[in-house]
Amino acid sequence: SQTIHQWPATLVQPVGSPLSLECTVEGTSNPNLYWYRQAAGRGLQLLFYSVGIGQISSEVPQNLSASRPQDRQFILSSKKLLLSDSGFYLCAWSQGRVQETQYFGPGTRLLVL
Amino acid sequence: QQPVQSPQAVILREGEDAVINCSSSKALYSVHWYRQKHGEAPVFLMILLKGGEQKGHDKISASFNEKKQQSSLYLTASQLSYSGTYFCGTVFTQGGSEKLVFGKGTKLTVNP
């Protein structure tokens, strides 16, 4: 069966510090991978998605970036965090097209102070 | 492109029924429904791929009216475990790529 992992689970960072969140998927190959952000009490905002190694599509201009160095690894990064980067970051995967079900990881709660 | 969900919030007593609607201004090709409990990740409930399709999951079911560009989620004889925020997601094609866009969510609270 497929599983998706995210770490860390919780992170408190000062403004201006760098960020690296990692997501890995097990039990499948060549998945589509997604990064979402959810502000407190808000909906799901798609940040990046990837259909293959090295292929990243950005949905929202911002100070975040994503990379996919391996087939089942997706990394979200920032060089300098802003207060507005606080939120719940969710990684998701799907097999094949976007029409297919997306399965979410447990999420990383980020607080920027 | 974001689908519109209604109501924004609903409070029920255990055993009552609820309907959550999801509508789009653009043609719908599929509708995804998720439930998210506080502090947790969204969990997939069901996906409807065809107009007129109806599906059920325990006492939660959904319909998809392609012509009206809307979907409805029906929660029957609600249980305490149904509490959470329900999101619908719809797929749009933009610039040759498909994207799943979620609504803002409907917060459901079931009280004893």
CATH number of residue A79's parent domain: 2.60.40.10
At B52 the pLDDT is 67
Per-residue model confidence as pLDDT tens digits over B12-36: 999 999 999 999 988 777 899 999 9
Numbered residues of chain A with Cβ closer than 8 Å to any chain B Cβ: 42-44, 46, 49, 57, 59, 90, 97-99, 101-107
Tokens found for residue B97: 């790529």
Share of chain B above pLDDT 90, in %: 62
Where in the sequence is the domain holding A27, given as residue range(s)? 3-112
pLDDT of B57 strictly over 80 = no
Question: Which stretches of chain A are assigned E, i.e. beta strand?
Answer: 3-7, 10-13, 19-26, 32-38, 45-52, 55-58, 64-70, 73-78, 87-94, 103-104, 108-112
Number of domains chain A contains: 1
Q: Are A11 and A111 in contact (CB under 8 A)?
A: yes
A38, A51, A57, A110: best to mutate for the B interface, most B CBs within 10 A: A38
State the Cα–Cα distance between residues A99 and B31, nearest whole angstrom: 9
Q: Are B66 and B12 in contact (CB under 8 A)?
A: no
Q: Are A68 and A74 in contact (CB under 8 A)?
A: yes
Where in the sequence is the domain holding B28, given as residue range(s)? 4-111
Burial class from Cβ neighbours inside 10 Å (0-12, 13-18, 19+) for residue A71 reads middle
At A98 the pLDDT is 67
Contact residues on chain A for B105, CB-CB shorter than 8 A: 43
CATH number of residue B34's parent domain: 2.60.40.10
State the Cα–Cα distance between residues A45 and B12, nearest whole angstrom: 28
Number of domains chain B contains: 1
Per-residue model confidence as pLDDT tens digits over B74-88: 999 999 999 999 999
At A61 the pLDDT is 66
- For tokens 């297919």, what's the residue? A100
Q: Does B32 touch chain A (CB under 8 A)?
A: yes
Q: Does B43 touch chain A (CB under 8 A)?
A: yes
Nearest residue to A99 via CA among B48, B45, B4: B48
